[in-house]
Amino acid sequence: MSANAAPSARLIVQCPDRPGIVAAVSQFLFQHGANIMSADQYSTAGGAGRFFLRVEFQTDGLDCTVEALRETFRTEITSRFDMDWKLDAVHRPRVAILASRTDHCLLELLWRWRGGELPIDIPVVISNHEALRKDVEVFGIPFHVFPVTPETRQQQEQAIRALLREQDIQLVVLARYMQILSGDFIAEYPARIINIHHSFLPAFAGADPYGRAFERGVKIIGATAHYATEDLDEGPIIEQDVVRVSHGDTRESLMRLGREVERSVLARAVQWHIEDRVFVHGNRTVVFH
């Protein structure tokens, strides 16, 4: 939200599909003085369909605080429709970025943050190597290194998680962080850890996807941003993109082209997440662009 924009809030709803949901929500917001700026809705097909709703509204005309509006919505609306929901004022989430040695995804996020395109706070960047320290510190962001070996993996992860709690982190972004997170780590941030995989999943999951793509002689390569789960590279997909390649490409040119796709795919996924545009339902997502 820009400095001159009116204060706003978002209502995010997921529930069984049935008639009257939009009418009830719209009437509720109208009665309390909210001015709806945008509304997106989607329902899945079938008799047991699922309904998804994202509403952003101005709050300067409300007859109560956002906190009071949330509580009133809870008591008057949610139980009628069996809703999973949240209603919060729009704010800048606190985001931690984890990266290893590769810089392109990390720098893309930092450039967009510095340019005001990503309305987030980045209190910390974390790595398991020193390689990116100078790149990060030029942005004025603290850079923390937690080296890891097979013998110290558990202690290293515990130290990272302690730092994330200390910094009140709301979203973790794995910008080519080449370590596997434990189930406990992932459970602490459900649907709040975004990973970039350098392949158009489900093709070439796991290690060295560009090398395997080169060996198969593929004609398209891509990248996938998804929420991290305990199943490696199988979490709900947020965004994907591809670029066409040819028999004349080398492993190195595939990697160069892939890096360009990775950085934009990850940035879009982070943008949509912080704008509450991504709904997770099972292992699938609904994304309001």
What is d(CA 97, CA 127) in angstroms, rounded to the nearest whole number? 9
Buried b (16+ CB within 10 A) or exposed e, 172-183: bbbbbbebebee
Helix ranges (DSSP H) in the chain: 21-31, 66-73, 79-81, 104-114, 133-137, 153-166, 183-188, 209-216, 251-274
Say whether the peptide bond before residue 119 is cis (omega within 30 degrees of 0): no
Contact by Cβ (8 Å): 279, 255: no
Whether 276 is catalytic is no
Q: 244 and 261 in contact (C-beta within 8 Å)?
A: no
Q: How far apart are CA 142 and CA 205, in angstroms?
A: 32
- Options 88, 233, 241, 249, the catalytic residue: 233
Q: What is the DSSP letter of 4?
A: T
Active site residues: 233
